[in-house]
Amino acid sequence: MGHFQQLKEIIKHTFSKKSLQIRLTTFLWVLLCSWYWTGDPIKSGNLAISVLIGSMIIQGTYEWIYDKS
């Protein structure tokens, strides 16, 4: 499998319907929790976006790895 095909599989897993629903829920949860604890909506938004992007990359990569085996 070529590198482009591997990248395509990671992207497919990252943007699946199930994955997007999990990400949206996680994003809202982190946003609300951090806003509650810090009282700062800008810092909370930045943290939630950071967690969202990181979790999408991590989840897409692991699903691709386990899908291969």
**pLDDT tens across the length of the chain (69 residues):** 577 787 787 777 778 888 888 888 989 999 999 999 999 989 999 999 999 888 888 887 887 788 776
Reported pTM: 0.68
pLDDT score for 40: 92
**Within 10 Å of residue 47's Cβ, how many Cβ atoms?**
17
pLDDT score for 8: 81
pLDDT score for 1: 55
Break the chain into its structural domains and give their ranges.
16-68
